[in-house]
Structure 1
Amino acid sequence: MRGYFGIGSERISKAMNLGAVLRTAHAFNASFTFTIAAHHRAKEINLSDTARSAAHVPLYEWESLDEMRLPKGCMLVGVELDENAIDLPQFQHPLNAAYLLGPEKGDLSPEAKMLCGTIVKIPTRFCVNLSVAAALIMYDRTISLGGYGPRSKTLAAPPREEWRQVRRQK
């Protein structure tokens, strides 16, 4: 896949969520991760980030939006359940992007929204967990920019009896 991406959160408060985001970002080959005005217990991150991702993917911890520094040409994309946002399945991911999610119990700040080149939403009835939202964003980016092409038709599964025979042979 060409281009690069980073993913992070503004005002994240739960270390377990941050650890899950870091681990998932590592799995999806993110170029960097970040937090803005985070207030979590740093010691607890490794409980959910069993891959120790900070050793493999840079983690930038900015105290404020003013401190945030993104690479030149990197679009900041807000992720928010907002009626004016673009539905994720219709969104064309920029080649170089940093995805910014809001806190667990709240929205992106108005200042963060102003910095975003666009806002996308995951089309759900209500908000999902922050780390789940991050995983969905990274998965969508991977399938849309990863060169996988169109999805193939569903192949019929072999009859149940054939599965039983295969299992018995093992």
Structure 2
Amino acid sequence: MRGYFGIGVERLSKPMNVGNLFRSAQAFGAGFLFAVQGSYSKSKAYSDTSQSTHQLPFFEYDTVVEMKLPDHCQLVGIELIDGAVELPTFKHPVQAAYVLGPEKGNLSAEMLDRCGHVIKIPTSFCINVATAGAIVMYDRVVSFGRFGQRATFSRNAGEPSSPRARGAEIPPPKVTQWGATA
């Protein structure tokens, strides 16, 4: 996949959520992890069974102002607010850092001001922080085109898309010398 991404949290207080998010980030190929104004304890993040903060660069910042990102990296806030771009229509930056807010609150005004983009998952109410992060990372992986086109019908699931037009003649199956179809 081209580019890179990192993912982080602001003011998160539940280590299980952070551990789950960071473990998912490692699985989806994140390049770095970060926490801003959080009380993330590596020893209490029992759900981070892959020990992602030992496998990937992990940065902790006391304030939003202190937060540093790589050159050309665009900060993307994930927040269920008016004016946010819905995830299915969002074009992910090649170089991105995604940030999620606390369990019982929103990203701070300071953090939202730093974000080049703010996106939301089209749900009717807020979902778990780790779940939201995993959905966004999955969308990023799918958006960058590592996979074939989705099947139009469930009977075609897993098959490569066919260039033939609807209603065109279906070619007969290929028969091997032993009579089996290939």
Shorter-chain TM-score: what band? 0.7 to 0.9
Amino acid at match of 1:62: Y
Provide TM-score, normalisation by structure 2: 0.82
Deviation of 1:53 after TM superposition, in Å, equals: 1.1
- Determine the C-alpha separation between the residues in 2 that align with 1:67 and 1:57: 20
Amino acid at match of 1:92: K
CA distance in 2, matches of 1:53, 1:108: 23
CA distance in 1, matches of 2:138, 2:155: 25
In structure 1, the partner of 2:110 is: 111
Partner of 1:36 in structure 2? Answer: 36
Alignment check: 8 A CA contact 1:14 1:41 kept: no
Give deviations 1:8-66, integer Å, cap 9, x for gaps: 11001000011001100010010001000002444211x10111112211111111111
3-state SS, counterpart of residue 94 of structure 1: coil
Q: Which range is displaced more, 112-121 or 34-43?
A: 34-43
| Aligned-partner residue type, residue 9 of structure 2 | S
| 1:1-170 pair list within 5 angstroms | 1-45=1-45, 47-156=46-155
Task: State how many pairs are aligned.
Answer: 156
Q: What's the secondary structure of 2:68's corresponding residue?
A: coil
Equivalent position SS for 2:19: helix
Cα distance, 1:155 vs structure 2: 4.3
Rounded to whole Å, the distance in 2 between the matches of 1:156 and 1:41 is 47
Q: Which amino acid in the other structure matches residue 7 of structure 1?
A: I
* Coordinate RMSD, CA, aligned: 1.3
- Note the C-alpha offset of 1:113: 0.5
Corresponding letter in the other structure for 1:3 = G
Contact preservation (8 Å) 1:28, 1:138: yes
Q: Taking structure 1 as the reference length, what is the TM-score of the superposition?
A: 0.88
Aligned to 2:170: none
Q: Which runs of 5+ in 2 are unaligned?
A: 157-182
Cα distance in structure 1, aligned partners of 2:44 and 2:25 = 18
Give the equivalent residue in structure 1 for 2:164: none
1:2 match: secondary structure: coil
Larger gyration radius, structure 1 or structure 2: 2
Q: Where in structure 1 are there 5+ consecutive unaligned residues?
A: 158-170
**Matched residues in 2 for 1:146 and 1:139: separation?**
12
Pairwise CA distance, 1:156: 2.7
Contact 2:78-2:120 within 8 A present in 1 as well:
yes
Amino acid at match of 1:141: R
Identity in percent: 48
